[in-house]
Amino acid sequence: MISPFDLTGRTAIVTGANTGIGQAIAIALAQAGADIAAVGRSPASETVEQIRALGRRAEFVSADLSTIEPVQRIVDETVDKFGDLHILVNNAGIIRRADATDFTEADWDAVIDTNLKSVFFLCQAAGRHMIARHAREGGGGKIINIASMLTFQGGIRVPSYAASKSGIGGVTKLLANEWATKGLNVNAIAPGYIATNNTAALQADESRNAAILARIPAARWGEPNDLGGAAVFLASRAADYVQGHILAVDGGWLAR
């Protein structure tokens, strides 16, 4: 019997796949059988090598998602190299920290453009391809957006990040509403406090780090690998009736 989590024959785009959460998700999808288009501003050589070592195909797609200029090219290059596109993981994101009274327009625009605008338009480009294929031959597609604890909460000193991740929650639900009957599943993963480059400042802040750990029932920061299983689930047939859901992988943070 074929496992409902088996991704053999599927191609996935994973943005921000060179390090951290994106790298871990790309490798987890490959372990489940998917081929990977690893998208990023800097080469994802390590990610590509690890995926190929698993016997899966992997190619790097160079793109700077601070604008929507490369969005359609990402989809086109992926389809050209792999023959199709079945899964999109929108992981690439940035963060800027400052008090709300001092926050600049430049930092606001940079975060919103990367974390929300480019995500929507990459969903649009991938969705058009997946919807057209589903209409021709069935098969559908899976879109997974990376949300945040700040999809649910306000945070501190990250106004544009909080706004962008709240927006990811809304866009995920909207696309699920529109595309559920067109063969697509659109969901999101909300990581808790994960030890990555984006959270290095928090990890280094002794008082904030202690406060964060005190609230996490699991009593530890998450690791990028903790997101892999959730991504495989949402990308697989096991999640065919899951729509517009934001799956928290947070060590119990929201439950506290």
Helix extents (H) in 138-205:
159-179, 200-204
| Four-point Cα dihedral 234, 167, 122, 15, nearest 10 | -60
pLDDT given for residue 143 in this prediction: 99
Question: Which tens digit of pLDDT belongs to each residue from 75-110?
Answer: 999 999 999 999 999 999 999 999 999 999 999 999
CA distance 150 to 148: 5
pLDDT given for residue 200 in this prediction: 86
Judge whether 193 counts as a catalytic residue: no
pLDDT given for residue 147 in this prediction: 98
pLDDT given for residue 95 in this prediction: 95
pLDDT given for residue 47 in this prediction: 98
Burial of 95 (0-12, 13-18, 19+ CB in 10 A): buried
pTM: 0.97
- Helix (DSSP H) and strand (DSSP E) numbers for the chain: 9, 7
Q: Which long-range contacts (CB under 8 A, 24 or more apart) does 132-139 make?
A: 133/84, 134/182, 134/183, 134/184, 135/182, 135/183, 138/183, 139/86, 139/183
CA distance 25 to 126: 18
Q: What are the structural domains, with CATH classification, of the chain?
A: 11-248 (3.40.50.720)
**Residue ranges in the chain modelled with pLDDT below 50:** none
pLDDT given for residue 199 in this prediction: 86
- Catalytic residue chosen out of the listed positions 60, 120, 161, 221: 161
Question: What would the two tokens of residue 227 be?
Answer: 């997101």
